[in-house]
Amino acid sequence: MELQQKLVPTVRLDLRPLLIQAVRLLPLSQIELRQYLLQEYLQNPALEVQSDEEGPSLDELATPQASSESEPSTGDDDEWLSQLLDETHFELPSPIEEKEPAEEEDWIWERRIESPRTLLDHLRWQIAMAPVDETTRSVMYFLAEFINPSGYIEETEEELAGLAGVSVEAIHRARQHLLRLDPVGVGARTLRECLTVQLEALGQTDTDAYRILQEAWDEFVQKRWDDIARRLGLSREALRAALEVIYHLDPRPAQAYTVHQLLYVHPDVIVREQDGEYIVELSRAVVPRVTISRRYLRLLRDRQNLSPEERQYIRERILAARRLLRTLNYCESTLLRIARHIVQHQRAFLEQGLSGLRPLSLRDVARALNLHESTVSRAVQHKYMQTPRGTFELRFFFQRRVSTQSATQEVSATTVKHRIRELIQSESPQNPLTDEALARLLRFEGIQISRRAVTKYRLEMNIPSARQRRRMQTA
């Protein structure tokens, strides 16, 4: 038998651990990040946790080459060990540290915290047993990290392929498998795809409900029932039965795994005024400071008393800790950049209140900071900003744009709501303003708004109609 050398092209997934870890940490609140770091501390002996506010910051701990994905070579550890020793300015801890009983008890309680099963855990368990090849399995693990709390993936397959270093076909094939895991439809990019996959899983591809999703989606979204019946040749009874099937599908497949346990709000960003300027800082009240253990760094240099296996284990733990510090540094810097841009854009709100709130979208911030829109979305998720006017969720500052007569004037939906409330509060009790009258007054002020939009905003603020307000005054 003759031996031959052949070049065989294969697809290999580069998961980029820093990217995966950043996607996981960006949306975490301070309390969630604290629990994550404490869990990492328990699993990685090369990590140290400091609860006091003294000590080096993450900027000092992260390596200067924050954008590099490469790790030090396995040949010589002296160079990168010296660099890490210079970067961590902690005193070498004693070999045996005795803790106070109260502190030890606190750590025991931390270990007893039981986290609920998350969607990511549920998906990983299924992916591990999925009947697919290893490349597809790796891509499925990669895609699971990008699923938002509603169960959708915001990035396009082309963007995901570029991040993972695989072909678009590999992303598409893995996502098709992911869509059919439990809950069915998770990983979809659109609502239409999510509902369609659920009908396919139920074996209802030959039904009127499936035809509506495939052939009359625009009419379905706009609730043009007569157009659907006419286009598909359905009777009213058949249309009603098909709509009943669609309405029983789950438009948010991940909602059952969303945990609502936000008991306390800790501001992630603090804004304070100083000499007419607004200073933006990150809050470090909850998240503990982590650093690489100098003791383990020095142990790695001990070539005589450690076996190669022990040195390899210590090296792997140190590298994992180093990646964590770099990821935390990236998440902090990204959040700080976004917060500073928000404060600069919404300066009028800080000075005037709701009347000065300007329109702002995730896309605007992403373009200004050269970030992806999904990165901005994850970074502001579950984050709060403490300002001189109160503490607000970061998403509060992202406001819809309402058209005006002036091309230079920008008005947000919240500002319009605030103005509607002011007009209603100043109206005559005997002659309350109708929605049409409110629309005319707003148009006179330069805000182009319809009566229907006024009605929508009024209902969102739980304000009764003019007729109901008149009855309340005469009662």
Distance CA 346, CA 358 (A): 6
H/E stretch holding 390: strand 390-393
Long-range contacts of the stretch 429-437 (C-beta < 8 A, 24+): 429/469, 429/470, 429/473, 430/470, 430/473, 431/470, 432/466, 432/469, 432/470, 432/473, 433/466, 434/465, 434/466, 435/465, 435/466, 437/466
Provide the 8-state DSSP code for 252.
Answer: -
Report pLDDT for 116.
Answer: 60
Alpha helices in 294-450 (DSSP H): 294-300, 308-345, 347-352, 362-369, 373-380, 413-425, 435-444
Collapse the DSSP code of 367 into the 3-class scheme (helix H, G, I; strand E, B; otherwise coil) and give the result. helix
Q: Which residues contact 339 (CB under 8 A, 6 or more apart)?
A: 269, 271, 280, 282, 385, 394
Distance CA 100, CA 98 (A): 7
Distance CA 223, CA 241 (A): 15
Domain residue spans of the chain: 119-257, 401-474
In this predicted structure, the answer to whether residue 153 has a pLDDT above a threshold of 80 is yes
pLDDT tens for 190-243 read 999 999 999 999 999 999 999 999 999 999 988 899 999 999 999 999 999 999
Report pLDDT for 399.
Answer: 82
pLDDT tens for 35-74 read 888 888 888 888 887 654 443 434 444 444 433 444 444 4
Say whether domain 401-474 belongs to CATH 3.30.70.20: no
- pTM exceeds 0.85, yes or no: no
Report pLDDT for 5.
Answer: 67
Pick the CATH number of 119-257 from 3.40.462.40, 3.30.565.10, 3.30.200.20, 1.10.10.1330: 1.10.10.1330
Q: Which residues contact 129 (CB under 8 A, 6 or more apart)?
A: none
Mean pLDDT of 14-31: 76
Do the domains at 119-257 and 401-474 have one common CATH topology? yes
